[in-house]
Amino acid sequence: MLNYIESYLIYPFEKIRRKIPTREKYLNTVIFTFLALSAAEIPLVGTMKKENLSEVTFKVSGTLMQLGTQPFVFASMVAPLLLDQDNEQGTNIIGFIISIFMALQWGIAEYNWVATVQLCFVAYLLLQSEVYLKERGAISPSTALIFANASKRIILSLFVDPLSFIWAIVLMISVAWIENINITVPLTHTRSRMQTISMELPVMYNSTTALIMYYTFIEILSSIWTPAQILLSRNISRDTFITAPILYICVYFINSKLASFNNQTGKDMIQRWKKQKLTLKGWRDPKKMYKYVQNIIDRNVKWNTIFICGLWTLGILYRPSVGITTLFILVGTIKRNRPTWQLF
């Protein structure tokens, strides 16, 4: 069904027959980001621009980016449960369908059908952008927009609220430091016992995926069911005593399931190393090796959850210029793209 819809919705872009230079990918991403940020300044017919409060996606209420990239980010979370992992186009189609549903739901609530048509058209353009930039862009459209918008807010806070700016920088440094903590596992080559290698398992084993998944789901839910907004508390208030325990429990639950879902359990790791002709140094029993590595992973997942929830709590006690979840995305983006900053 999705393949049938795809044949009608997705523009048949020219097949790539060459290696696209890094600077061209960045140029494509910059052009898209500029156009999307410009669209976020254009109000919908009959509405006014409101503050953007999304932590993990880019959306600006009351503008052409009212829905923004939120439906596509949510689709990337649920699609692996419905589709093959390699079906990127199907994920984008699901994101577009969610966009249409949310646009119609908003149109019914606001009695503004002209704006609904605008939102559907923007969703169609974002669908094409997701497909085009998949191989022609440097980073995903949503990440590019979050990075650009958050960077702007951090820089502006330097002049408006210097203390908030300093606090954001401190938290970013803390996140970057925590992301680099690893547990070393000694491996040896199965054919040459003298050849050893150290494999590092990060303490932030699932990175910030659990927190991003939680916020994406809650933001989608709150846009449909208003009472769920209580779970998006960003400052100390009565709601925080409800929000914090639920967030801690949900983040730990998601974190504990991600390793199995992503095939990153101890057994998966041992089997992957075996294909590379590597094994645990001094170990022979596969079951004991599975258990040993799994214990390290389970311990890392617990610390991962503690670090995430601890930093989130610090961001609630005194709010930085952007949300702590957004800071996680910023640091992750910088870390992944650091080797490719040289454009010329």
Please name the residue that has the structure tokens 């997942």.
301
Confidence band (pLDDT; 50, 70, 90) for 28?
very high
d(CA 303, CA 251): 12
The pLDDT value recorded for residue 86 is: 56
Measured in degrees and rounded to the nearest 5, phi and psi for residue 23 equal -65, -30
Domains of the chain as residue ranges with CATH = 2-155 (1.10.3370.10), 161-340 (1.10.3370.10)
d(CA 74, CA 69): 9
Question: Running DSSP on this structure, what letter comes out for residue 44?
Answer: P
The pLDDT value recorded for residue 337 is: 67
Q: Which pLDDT tens digit goes with each residue over 33-58?
A: 999 999 998 999 888 777 666 777 88
Looking at residue 148, its amino acid is A
Percentage of the chain modeled with pLDDT above 90: 23
Distance of CA 321 to the CA centre of its chain: 19
H or E element, residue 230: none
Taking a C-beta distance cutoff of 8 angstroms, is the pair 99, 126 a contact? yes
Beta-carbon contacts of residue 286 (< 8 Å; ≥ 6 apart): 270
Range of weakest confidence among 49-53, 104-108, 311-315: 49-53
Percentage of the chain modeled with pLDDT above 70: 91
Confidence band (pLDDT; 50, 70, 90) for 344?
very low
pLDDT at 343 over 50: no
The pLDDT value recorded for residue 306 is: 94
Measured in degrees and rounded to the nearest 5, phi and psi for residue 182 equal -130, 155
